[in-house]
Amino acid sequence: METRKLDKIYELVLRNNAKSQNQEETFQEQEIEDDPDNESTCSDDFTSATSPQNKDLADLPEAPFLTNIMVYFHYFTMVSFAVFSAWLRSTKIFKIKYPQELESQKEFPSLDNKFETLFINSIYRMATDVVNRPISSVPSTKLTIKERITNDYGWSYEFTGFSQNYGPCASAAINKIDEDGLSVCSTKHELGNTILQREVEKQVANFIGVEDAIIFPMGFGTNSMNISAFVNDDCIVFSDQLNHSSIVTGCRMSKATIKVFKHNDPIDLERVIRKTLPYGNPKKGGSKYKKILIIVEGIYSMEGTIVDLPAIVAIKKKYNAYLFLDEAHSIGAMGPNGKGVVDYFGMDPSDVDIMMGTLTKSFAAAGGYIGGSKKTIDHIRACSIGAIYGSVYSAPILAQIQSSIRIIEGRDGTNTGLKKINNLLRNSRYFRDRLKQMGFHVCGSRDSPVIPVMTYFISKVVAFGREALLRNLGVVSVGYPATPLTAARIRFCMCADHTKEQLDLALEIIDEVGTMLGIKYATVTEEMRNKKIVY
């Protein structure tokens, strides 16, 4: 009876998804349909954000065919010149300016292959001033960018505006240094499990609505060092094709069978499950898998798409699988209470077996967490290599996490947290709508604070970064190998503290540089171009 009910729920979800995919979802038609008075509003109400007509969860525009051909030709030209240049250097016709290995060590095994060396020396080095800019201030709405005189390469970004040199969070962190010092100099299983750390773990668990949580001082390691605690070679993992590198690393370390499904596509996920499970585990002679784990992200960091969580949960229940949800870019930034995509969709946290997130983007701290049932978290504490051998948090960082969560929850006696969540939503919608109106190819959901703009050409990404900086605008430039070869992009990350004036100034610069570089690939009608978008 329960299975039939789940089948019906899943069919309804997929039918709605298919219906929305069959509709033409051009920006012009959406805006005209939503607002007959030819005026687009950027509400800060998450209730309207979760209505079916606004859930463009996976808006990923495709490059025109000719553009794709030109991108491949562009790479071919760059690589050809790089190979020719490398040949000239090997014959001593050109002088080699970058460091070389000693003659006595040239017979040693190579640390990388020849193409990687060629790519780094001849292509990547040309763009290091754009893709590796040191930031010497807090990653707030205004940044101080240091010229290339240091090699510490510190950078970040944040959603909620807690990254400041002043205010309640900064004061709490400073006070904790006086009380508890900077480090306990021990692992958690020895002398590192402080009272303060347990308090923060309980606070995180309460915030995300689960029984217990455990925190780790490194976000990447929260995934890569813990997935192997859940699955092994007797298990199978179904992973979204655009999952983060930390998830990919964790899955590989687990030695589980890994099957990849199309990005944010529940229909393809079920197709892969149906195709795989009947044949059993090939590593164990076709025996039945002991555990099925589905891994997805709340917001995908390079696409800005929001996971279709209701459909994924329906599949998880239908096939008796476990669900691992990475909320690195959605916790603190999505939902009416800032509690991530589970909150955004109004779902029960118990629908997700393992909830992971980072404490950087929305909390201006460091590291990450894993939340779930007490039994699950106790298992991690006992079996995870990250929990057993990893270092622990510094006291001021724990104080920063405590303070920021208290503010988001409104436990500080103010409504500052709610204002930040609403401001972030308003800023995200306004900025995205304006970019689409200008004619850019913009990826992702309208409610996502991660807003990628496609340039397709790696050279245009680099040029955009340089030209924007000349106009005092810092942007994140992303290309291969962080993205597919033909999918270079500029990534904008909204902050709750951005004012409309700051956004308008940034948009003016983006419009100017985008026109100059010819990266406005979308078709915009005159009616849409003249449409007023209200902040």
130 falls within a domain: no
Question: 78 and 57 in one domain?
Answer: no
How far is 79 from 118, CA to CA, in rounded Å? 8
| Residue in the structure block whose two tokens are 């051909």 | 69
Cβ atoms of 463 and 500 within 8 Å: the answer is no
Reported as a pLDDT band with limits 50, 70 and 90, residue 35 is very low
How far is 129 from 468, CA to CA, in rounded Å? 13
For every residue of 49-95, which 3-state class applies, written as one string? HCCHHHCCCCCCCCCCHHHHHHHHHHHHHHHHHHHHHHHHHHCCCCC
What lies within 8 Å, CB to CB, of 262 at 6+ separation is 241, 268, 269
The C-alpha torsion from 333 through 339 and 342 to 343, rounded to 10°, is -90
The residue segments making up the domain with residue 275 are 213-390
426 falls within a domain: yes
Residue 23 confidence (pLDDT):
37
pLDDT (tens digit per residue) in 170-219? 666 666 666 666 667 666 767 667 888 899 999 999 999 999 999 999 99
Reported as a pLDDT band with limits 50, 70 and 90, residue 30 is very low
Question: 249 and 369 in one domain?
Answer: yes
Reported as a pLDDT band with limits 50, 70 and 90, residue 396 is confident
194 falls within a domain: no
193 falls within a domain: no
Given a cut of 70, whether residue 40 has pLDDT beyond it is no
Question: 53 and 85 in one domain?
Answer: no
Question: 252 and 338 in one domain?
Answer: yes
Question: 434 and 381 in one domain?
Answer: no
Quote the percentage of the chain above a pLDDT of 90: 50
447 falls within a domain: yes
Question: 450 and 379 in one domain?
Answer: no
Question: 451 and 302 in one domain?
Answer: no
What lies within 8 Å, CB to CB, of 279 at 6+ separation is 286
Q: Tell me which of 47-56, 225-234, 320-329, 523-532 is least confident.
A: 47-56
Given a cut of 50, whether residue 2 has pLDDT beyond it is no
198 falls within a domain: no
How far is 358 from 320, CA to CA, in rounded Å? 27
What lies within 8 Å, CB to CB, of 206 at 6+ separation is none
How far is 356 from 215, CA to CA, in rounded Å? 10
Question: 316 and 266 in one domain?
Answer: yes
Residue 258 confidence (pLDDT):
96
Number of domains composing the chain: 3
Question: 315 and 455 in one domain?
Answer: no
Residue 379 confidence (pLDDT):
94
Which CATH number goes with the domain that contains 56?
A: 3.90.1150.10
How far is 429 from 312, CA to CA, in rounded Å? 25
Question: 319 and 262 in one domain?
Answer: yes
Residue 83 confidence (pLDDT):
85
Question: 30 and 81 in one domain?
Answer: no
Question: 443 and 349 in one domain?
Answer: no
526 falls within a domain: yes
Peptide bond just before 481 cis, omega within 30 deg: yes
Which CATH number goes with the domain that contains 309?
A: 3.40.640.10
Reported as a pLDDT band with limits 50, 70 and 90, residue 109 is confident
How far is 355 from 370, CA to CA, in rounded Å? 6
80 falls within a domain: yes
Average pLDDT, stretch 295-308?
95
| Residue in the structure block whose two tokens are 């970064």 | 465
**DSSP strand pairing (257-261 vs 212-216):** unpaired
